[in-house]
Chains A and B, each alone.
Chain A
Amino acid sequence: MKTAFIMQKEIRESILTPKGFLWYILTSVILSVLSYLFLTNRELSLLDQGTMLYMIMNFITALGVLMGLVLGADAFAGEIERGTLEALFLSPVKRREIAAGKLCAVLTNWGIIFAISLPYLYIVGKGGQNLLPGILYLGVLGTLLSLIFSAFSMGLSARIKSMKNSLIISFFIFLLAGAPIFLSAALRRTWFGRIFDLLNPFADAVNTFDSVVIDSQGLSYQTGRVAIICIYTLLCIWFLKRSAAKVQM
């Protein structure tokens, strides 16, 4: 129950604010521009519809992860810097309840981004292949990725106690996770590229979207990658729990 109050506080603090809404309006504007370009621009509009859907899904996932990282970096370090964490720690709330409340708020943020993206996914994927499986996989894997990266960033913020530093490290991790996008196809086919792709939860999610939406492959093809994402989720939640328990003023 206390987790719910913390979550409610976090939502009011981070989401139902001008800053929060600005993020959502920007998300929606970017998705509007992308969808319009995909569907009307001469070259882009003639991309295969599955490819368009896949590209939009990647963008939404990256956005959710990025916002999760920022909110996670603020979770403990931001409160310490603003001097509000001490009062929270004085109250009879367990550290893990605080962490869980904050994590749930980040998931709510992801839920809002996902909800914002649904009309765009529909108009881009309508009449094409695998729209529904695509949305389903985006919902599940996006939630797990959001958990992974925000829990990690939150744990880091609890240990480092500096919002600036935890943000820098979190962004570095985000870039590292997004690196496969920048790697050439040839490099990704090398043993290094393959291992990096497999061990990178972001790449696992992107490759799963590719497999589901473009290649129309079923669940049995996805189990390995989804299992790796699940393992990362558990590891990061464990890291957050440990880090939150150790926070001292």
Chain B
Amino acid sequence: MIILVENLQKRYDWHTALDGLDFSVEEGDIFGFLGPNGAGKTTTIRILTGITRADSGRVLIDGHNVNTESAEIKKIINAFPESSGYYEWMTAYEYLEFFSHLYNEKRLRRETCKLIESVGLQGKENHLIYTFSRGMKQRLGIARALINRPRILFLDEPANGLDPKGRKDIHDLLINLNREHGTTIFLSTHLLDDVERLCNRIAIINFGKIVRTGDVKKIEGKGTIEDIFFLSTQGGAP
């Protein structure tokens, strides 16, 4: 397995965000991480990507401990955070070039333009980001998350703010990444359509605990993802 999470705990002052989280993700999965607002999805992704420390528990990414080997982990992962901001005074090209430098990636202009094109922003590479719509910014954020060709890609609500065409483009991109490059995708979302369309495995989190996990196909045999989600997050059983 490429991601292993054991007994993860995280508290923020008086609020318990994660309360003994356990799950694993296999290499090549498109793993759907579902949960209602405030369930602990973003905190989990932040801990898995090493930008927040858990109070206790263990996270292994490709066998590396997230607390002690973050340099190794950062080479093989990337993420698109939910509340992603942008350096709006940069052009799309400059933005990606800046992050390429931080990854020590010596990209040709042609390659960066191709990446921009792959997220559907062709022709916009020299436009300042502040002129972009929210959907365009989302696409640019995803392009940034692909800059180091990650083996594991964490996406936190990537389809938020996108129109149906934009959502489809992102779906196609993710499916392509998974199939062509074998990228493991950890997709946090509350859009159940996306899960049905993209994911092969899911975990449902509620109040900081995993309440359901398994293969999408097996779960779907017992009802729709929507049914399972509502039953799981209300404390019932399918």
Contacts and interface: CB of A to CB of B under 8 A. Distances in A.
Interface of A: 1-2, 5, 9, 12-13, 17, 79, 82-84, 86-93, 248-249
A13 B49 CA distance: 27
A5 B84 contact: no
Contact of A90 (B78, B83, B86, B89): B78
16 contacts: A2-B102, A12-B90, A13-B89, A79-B85, A86-B46, A86-B51, A86-B84, A86-B85, A87-B81, A87-B141, A88-B102, A90-B49, A90-B51, A90-B79, A92-B74, A249-B52
B87 A248 contact: no
B98 A5 contact: yes
B53 interface: yes
B101 A87 contact: no
Contact of B74 (A79, A84, A91, A248): A91
A4 to B, nearest CB: 9
B101 A2 contact: yes
B51 A249 contact: yes
Contact of A89 (B51, B141, B144): B51
A248 B81 contact: no
Nearest to A91: B102
B103 interface: yes
Contact of A86 (B53, B71, B83, B102): B83
Contacts of A12: 89-90
B99 interface: yes
A84 B86 CA distance: 6
Contacts, number: 61
A16 to B, nearest CB: 9
A85 to B, nearest CB: 8
Most buried by A among B46, B52, B84, B85: B85
> Which 10 residue pairs are nearest across A and B when measured between Cβ atoms?
A83-B85, A92-B74, A91-B102, A84-B85, A82-B85, A89-B51, A86-B81, A5-B101, A83-B83, A248-B52
Nearest to B83: A83
Contacts of B83: 83, 86
A88 B46 CA distance: 13
Nearest to A5: B101
B84 A83 contact: yes
Most buried by A among B53, B74, B89, B102: B102
Most buried by A among B78, B84, B98: B98
Nearest to B86: A84
Q: Contact size class for B? A: 20 to 34
Contact of A248 (B53, B75, B104, B144): B53
A249 B102 contact: no
Contact of B102 (A79, A82, A92): A92
A77 to B, nearest CB: 13
Contacts of A249: 46, 51-52
Contacts of A9: 87, 98
Nearest to B42: A249
A86 B139 CA distance: 17
A34 to B, nearest CB: 32
Interface string B84-126: 1111011000000011011110000000000000000000000
Interface string B50-86: 0111000000000000000001001101110101111
Interface string B7-31: 0000000000000000000000000
Nearest to B78: A90
A92 B75 contact: yes
Contacts of A89: 51
A91 to B, nearest CB: 4
Contacts of B87: 9, 13, 84
Most buried by B among A9, A87, A249: A87
Most buried by A among B53, B101, B103: B101
Most buried by B among A12, A88, A91: A91
Contacts of B74: 90-92
Contacts of A93: 102
A17 B89 contact: yes
A243 B103 CA distance: 24
A102 to B, nearest CB: 14
Contacts of B84: 83, 86-87
Interface string B220-233: 00000000000000
Contacts of B85: 79, 82-84, 86-87
